[in-house]
Chains A and B, each alone.
Chain A
Amino acid sequence: MKKIPDKDILIFKSCLISGEYPGVESSTKYLFDKLGVEYVVEDRQSCCTGLGYYYDLFDQYSTTALAARNFAIAREIGHKNIATMCSTCYAILKKSCNILNENDKVRNKINQIFKDSKLDNLIYSPGDMDSEGNIFHVAEVLWSKKAEIKDLPMIDLSELKIATHHACHYFKVHYKEDSIGNKRNPLLLDDLANACGTETIGWYDHKKTTCGAGFRQRYANLDLSLSVTADKLMSLKENDVDTLLHMCPNCQMQFDRYQPVIEKNLNTKFNLAHLNIAQFLALAMGADPYKVVGIQTHTVSPDKVLEKIKQASPVAV
């Protein structure tokens, strides 16, 4: 099992979290503070290019050059353990890191660009970063703290019917390397829900199916995109699920923003709310739904969770 760090962490900002679900970032900070995980967030860090990469706009070379820049910044500020909140950032950074370590031609070309731009501080040497040892998903950092999470006072959310959606770019892209858990039935998020005393339904039909965003498909091919999302929603409905846990803002956006549209199209109701795993854990630990968890940016309000929180006596801190 890989070693997951709890210090020198750069929380890697994501464009969709920043612009759609900023509460995921504040929830992550809240949890890291509670669990004693040492981290920074850095203004100079740029977008990983991931959405542009999968819109086919970005070539690998440009994406890798910007990754090298972000890696240099992480090293410079002494926080070279990157923890991403988005699964596409995770996959993109790992791929770029491997290219920079293994492909001399590409690395030399990128370093030459840095020299020519008088940005010598960004120059990358093989081994400066390690895909397995330095690049993580925030959910993995939380997973490594399961024992500590179990010991914290927690609001009882055990009456909720919870399922998990493990993001494709977390467990399918670098499946041969180091993503945690069973690839046929990913359980990373289920383990985390269990850590705060709640059961999940575990396996369900379409557990591994993509959210349906499909990058370009959500925009250029909306019907195709939503038909895939509907597959998953129908399966969750059959299982009476009321809360779906996420680990990627793109998936969360697909379900949270488009669920009412699919309800209208299919003339049905799903009664299903969407929370990132960090938001869910923060709520269970008593974080403010608006000032920390940021549910005011959600389209589907997580009413059932809020009800439980309201009923619960204040958590002893």
Chain B
Amino acid sequence: MDIMEFKTIKIGKNNNKLTDSIIKDLKTSKDIGVLKCIQCGMCTSVCPASRHSEYDSREISKRVLEEDESLIYDDIIWNCFYCYTCHSVCPVGNSVSEIIQVLRQKAIINEEFEQIVTFLAFGESLLELGIGSIPIEYYSELIEVIGNDYPEFKNKLDEIREELGLGSLNLPDEDVKDIGNILEKTGFKDRLEKIRAYKKSINSEQ
């Protein structure tokens, strides 16, 4: 005789893979209230991305609770501003802002580099100089938008810093080397290498 399948809670069986992984992620607050979401919509009501685009914070939280893993590959997650306004008003301590951070990391771990490839230069600058930089891909756009005063001032930056009595912009070589060593062992250099390879592959396709 067939054993009947009852729809009951299966103790010990994990039905909350996505929510669990978000709650346990290092990027989220240790007491994040993902499972406490009551769909009140406070997050959406204060969210700049929800005000100006198709993005909807409450919907993100709902889809996470529904274990909808397709979110990871949904372009909509890339609209969040990381302003933490949702995070700061949630009545149950949930944080869509932090949820989005984890979802985007999952996309990157699955080698979805399309959305971050243009930010590669920040990582390269940090490895080279120990400080971050404006993404070089957008520099000409910045000049176009802001005007020629911008590159002019950038060219004079060292001079201005000296006038203001400030020290060198870059770190000593020895320290840059240390930072490189650390970031190699944390796996960051590997990640950058993969993104670089991806960049090469899309450039050669064009």
Contacts and interface: CB of A to CB of B under 8 A. Distances in A.
Contact of A57 (B30, B123, B168): B123
Interface string A1-35: 00000000000010100110011011001000000
B78 interface: yes
B126 interface: yes
B82 to A, nearest CB: 5
B197 interface: no
Contacts of B73: none
Contacts of A306: none
26 contacts: A19-B131, A23-B164, A26-B165, A43-B171, A47-B130, A57-B116, A57-B195, A58-B188, A59-B186, A62-B183, A62-B186, A62-B188, A64-B26, A65-B183, A66-B179, A117-B182, A119-B182, A168-B84, A183-B88, A208-B46, A210-B83, A214-B80, A216-B78, A216-B116, A219-B135, A261-B145
Interface of B: 25-27, 30, 46, 48-49, 51-53, 78-85, 87-88, 101, 104-105, 108, 115-116, 118-120, 122-123, 126, 130-135, 137-138, 141-142, 145-147, 149-150, 153-154, 157, 160-161, 163-169, 171-172, 175, 178-179, 181-183, 185-188, 191, 195
Contacts of A117: 178, 181-182, 185
Contacts of B108: 56
A113 B48 contact: no
Contact of B181 (A52, A102, A119, A258): A119
A297 B133 contact: no
A215 B181 contact: no
A220 interface: yes
A168 B83 contact: yes
Interface stretch (A142-150, A169-177, A307-315): A169-177
Contacts of B85: 168, 172, 208-210
Contacts of A15: 131-133
Contact of A26 (B51, B82, B164): B164
B81 A56 contact: no
Interface residues of A, number: 78
B171 A46 contact: yes
Contact of B122 (A52, A59, A64): A52
**Which of the listed residues A55, A117, A168, A222 has the most CB atoms from chain B within 10 Å of its own CB?**
A55
B63 to A, nearest CB: 19
Interface in A47-77: 47, 49-52, 54-62, 64-66, 69
Contacts of A290: 163
Given A171-B88, A172-B87, A231-B51, 4 more contacts: A15-B133, A113-B185, A210-B83, A299-B146
Given A57-B116, A257-B150, A228 B48 contact: yes
Nearest to B192: A57
A152 interface: no
Contact of A224 (B52, B104, B120, B131): B52
A144 B122 CA distance: 35
Contacts of A222: 141, 145
Given A62-B188, A172-B87, A56 B163 contact: no
**Which of A29, A47, A209, A294 has the most chain B CB atoms inside 10 A of its CB?**
A47
A47 B125 CA distance: 10
Contact of B49 (A52, A224, A257): A224
A62 B187 contact: yes
Contacts of A237: none
Contact of B53 (A18, A50, A171, A224): A224
B131 A46 contact: yes
